[in-house]
Amino acid sequence: MSSDRTALVFSAVAALGLGVVVWMLHTGRNPEVLIASMKERPNILVIDVDTFSWDHMSVVRNGVSNTPNLDALAARGVKYTHAFSHSGWTAPALHAVLTGALPAPISIGDKGQKWRPNGTRDLPEILGYYGYDTYSFWGVTIAKDLGPALSKTFKFVAAAAAVDSSQPSKESEPPTEEVVRFIEGEHSTPFFAYVHEVDLHRASAFSTFAADDPCADPTLWQKGMQYQGLYEALVARGGEASAKEAIALHYDMMVGLYDERIGQMLSALERSGLDKNTIVVVTSDHGDDFFEHAVVDHGLLYDSTIRVPLVVADLRNPTSGIVVDDVVQHVDVAPTLLAYAGAKPAVTMVGQPLPHTSGAAEVPYVSRPVYSLSDECHLSWREGDFKLILRDHATAHRDWYPLDITSDRAVNLSTFVQQHALTTLQIPQCAGSQMGGLPTQTFLELYDLKADPGEQVNVAADHPDDVARLLTQLLQTYGERAAAMSGGGGDAMTAEQIEQMKAKGYWGFIDPASSTGPAGK
């Protein structure tokens, strides 16, 4: 190696770190070019608002939107009106956002939970190769424990201190202030900051109530109350219609309170001058079903839950507010941000740069079917005007589903597979009883999204050819993800994390045979 080359390598080590330089030399990249380009790479701020329903953004009452800060950000960027998550609950959805890969079927064994195949490269890891400092900020939730497992390359994890937020008078402590302090600090290299907060997950986690909030009365609340209990209390006072309206208004107001936090982070970018070189993304891991199929709940794979808000704003080059109605997906987020950073996506990433973002001009965006998974026996495939849902009997115990599985509208998976000679497909091994290797208590739902956007009428029995086509695609994708898991996955959950998952009501999504079930009942 020449003396000039040696000096360049040593300077690169000092500027970037040994691991990045080794990677550059191995791939033939020039450290000098990367050092120079680092100054041109944008900062990236991703704000993932847990349980933010897409249709509760920009709700206008009395001429005022409940999300003025998010609206203003969308006016400078791109708003995607049909963005979809790959799960109805947090962990698989976050996997898709951070890896750009579809979530793998959850595998439970003696060592606990395996989230994704070995060899999967995630967004913060790849950005680290390109000189980024990567940070994550987590609120009070099980996600703060799962966050490091989802990506081990975050250099810093700031989680808010736990407080009792079971009463409306007890405000949670999200990491907003820590995010603001971080933004206003010193930054010698570009950063990727991932913020995940969960206040909308609770029936109430805010101490501030507007005077016209129908749920502000403290006599409504009991310790640990969630939406089911709040709904029952409101029904007792004013009936079902009044209760539904009150909960929707209350949720809209809580979204407004969270919007104020988004405004604090955006203001910090402006005060520090970083808005001149930052990409901001706001989305949600999933939404909530508001009385379409449940009281107020998630985990479901109806559009009411997996359709999510998504705004991408390149503050370096503000737009006049572009609205995209095409179907886009969470797996597109990682490739989009890598394109902004001038980085190539990993081979494990299946997404593509979102329309009207950097890199999108090279290859036109092509909408694809949306694959989602909440557990091994709860899958969906959304393509065109149809949505196919496969779900096990065990996942229906929350009365989520409008379909009575004993009715003549029910389509049994095992029977359908045999009748249509689809026996070569890999069938999920669900919690129901087995017969001939096939689950006997697994059912199919098909919805015509054009005629029935609310997904209320199961038409699977009326469209067997469409069911067969969509089921084949769904199970082929499922099989590919299951095969990818055969090489092993991430670190096992600890006993403490498993107990926290149970306490949060999520263990039923992971262990369908659990007697407690998703609702913790």
Beta strands in 365-475 (DSSP E): 370-375, 378-383, 386-392, 411-412, 434-435, 438-439, 442-448
Give the start-to-end residue ranges of the domains of the chain.
Answer: 39-369, 376-490, 494-521
The strand pair at 133-138 and 156-159 is best described as parallel
The strand pair at 278-283 and 43-49 is best described as parallel
For the domain spanning 376-490, the CATH number is: 3.30.1120
Q: Does an H or E element contain 240, and which?
A: helix 240-272
What is the dihedral sign for C-alpha 102, 140, 196, 395? positive
Q: What is the predicted pLDDT for the residue at 332?
A: 97
The share of the chain scoring above pLDDT 70, in percent, equals 70
Question: 88: closest CA among 389, 462, 486?
Answer: 389
pLDDT higher at 115 or 126:
126
Tokens of residue 255, six digits: 């979204």
Distance CA 116, CA 125 (A): 15
pLDDT category, 287, cuts 50, 70, 90? very high
CATH topology of domain 39-369: Alkaline Phosphatase, subunit A (3.40.720)
| pLDDT of 142 above 60 | no
The per-residue DSSP string of 3-33 comes to HHHHHHHHHHHHHH-HHHHHHHHHHT--HHH
Contact by Cβ (8 Å): 401, 460: no
Contact by Cβ (8 Å): 198, 141: yes
- Tens digits of per-residue pLDDT, 214-272? 888 888 887 777 788 889 999 999 999 999 999 999 999 999 989 999 999 999 999 99
- Tens digits of per-residue pLDDT, 10-64? 444 444 444 444 444 444 445 444 444 555 799 999 999 999 999 999 999 889 9
Contact by Cβ (8 Å): 175, 194: no
Q: What is the predicted pLDDT for the residue at 460?
A: 93
- Tens digits of per-residue pLDDT, 367-397? 999 999 987 788 999 999 999 999 876 554 4
Tokens of residue 248, six digits: 């929707």
Q: Does an H or E element contain 112, and which?
A: strand 112-114
